[in-house]
């Protein structure tokens, strides 16, 4: 056999590139890239979820705050403005003794018997306080789903104001007469009971969200 027919042996000093791993390395590189890509995607998803969750939490906190504000305003109108009017209109007034229609009727009758026409003068002095009470209730910033209950409180206060106004005009003209005064005093008691009921319903509707 001649030298030319012998198989060529690779020169160990050759500069030709040597394949190491071949297709296996390509797959490993692709898998590494794929893994990094997946981690990036997952990171973005988690970040987006955190942003959305944070926004929802902020909205939830804002919504709750509106109910807290409404509850606070409702309470203040009763303990401040309403209390101020009652202390003016009912001498020797004690909150714990005027808890329903009957107790308010008795208080008005008692004051009328003692003061007669002077009671009309007293009620006239108290009129601005009733106006402040009405304004405070009107200004309650109620969330949409409790506006109906708060509006009922507003109407009840308006009725109470009207009832006291009608009674003041009667005794201012002719003094206190039990028979003629009775229907107007009953109207005061009825509107007072309506206010108490409406206020309690509004309070429950608002606090249900707290």
Mind listing the pLDDT tens digit for each residue in 65-98?
Answer: 999 999 999 999 999 999 999 999 998 898 888 9
Is the pLDDT assigned to residue 19 strictly greater than 90? no
User: Token digits for 122?
Assistant: 């007293």
User: Token digits for 20?
Assistant: 């190491």
Lowest-pLDDT range of 4-18, 74-88, 124-138:
4-18
Helix H or strand E encompassing 6:
none
| Residue 126 domain-assigned (yes or no) | yes
pLDDT band of residue 202 (cuts 50, 70, 90) is: very high
CA–chain centroid gap for 68, Å, is 5
| Residue 11 domain-assigned (yes or no) | no
pLDDT of residue 4: 47
Give 113's contacts (C-beta < 8 A, 6+ positions apart): 176
Is the pLDDT assigned to residue 40 strictly greater than 80? no
The domain that contains 193 carries what CATH number? Answer: 1.20.120
d(Cα 210, Cα 191) in Å, to the nearest integer? 29
pLDDT band of residue 199 (cuts 50, 70, 90) is: very high
| Residue 25 domain-assigned (yes or no) | no
Lowest-pLDDT range of 54-58, 72-76, 99-103, 184-188:
54-58
Is the pLDDT assigned to residue 129 strictly greater than 90? yes
Q: Are 149 and 200 in contact (CB under 8 A)?
A: no
pLDDT tens digit sequence for 143-182: 999 999 999 999 999 999 999 999 999 999 999 999 999 9
| Residue 12 domain-assigned (yes or no) | no
Where is pLDDT greater, at 137 or 29? Answer: 137
pLDDT band of residue 198 (cuts 50, 70, 90) is: very high
Tokens 């804002």 map to which residue? 62
Alpha-carbon distance values, 5 to 2, 14, 96, 142, 190 (Å)? 6, 21, 124, 103, 126
d(Cα 201, Cα 150) in Å, to the nearest integer? 9
| Residue 122 domain-assigned (yes or no) | yes
pLDDT of residue 53: 47
pLDDT of residue 22: 54
| Residue 24 domain-assigned (yes or no) | no
DSSP secondary structure letter of residue 14 = -
Angle at the Cα of 103 from the Cα atoms of 140 and 70, rounded to 5 degrees: 10
| Residue 165 domain-assigned (yes or no) | yes
Q: Which domain holds residue 80?
A: 39-207
Q: What is the mean pLDDT of the chain?
A: 83
pLDDT of residue 97: 87
| Residue 4 domain-assigned (yes or no) | no
Total domains in the chain come to: 1
Helix H or strand E encompassing 124:
helix 117-138
């Amino acid at each position: 056999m001649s030298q030319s027919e012998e198989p060529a042996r690779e020169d160990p000093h050759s500069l030709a590139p040597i394949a190491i791993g071949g297709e296996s390395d390509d797959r490993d590189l692709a898998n590494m890239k794929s893994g990094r890509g997946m981690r990036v995607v997952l990171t973005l998803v988690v970040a987006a979820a955190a942003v959305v969750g944070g926004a929802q939490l902020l909205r939830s906190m804002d919504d709750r705050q509106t109910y807290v504000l409404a509850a606070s305003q409702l309470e203040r109108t009763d303990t401040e403005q309403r209390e101020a009017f009652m202390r003016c209109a009912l001498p020797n007034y004690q909150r714990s003794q005027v808890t329903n229609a009957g107790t308010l009727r008795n208080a008005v009758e008692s004051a009328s018997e003692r003061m007669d026409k002077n009671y009309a003068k007293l009620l006239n002095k108290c009129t601005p306080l009733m106006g402040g009470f009405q304004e405070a209730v009107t200004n309650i910033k109620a969330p949409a789903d409790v506006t109906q209950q708060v509006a009922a409180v507003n109407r009840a206060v308006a009725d109470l104001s009207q009832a006291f106004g009608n009674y003041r005009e009667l005794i201012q003209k002719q003094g206190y007469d039990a028979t003629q005064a009775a229907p107007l005093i009953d109207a005061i008691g009825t509107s007072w009971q309506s206010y108490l009921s409406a206020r309690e319903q509004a309070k429950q509707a608002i606090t249900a969200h707290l």
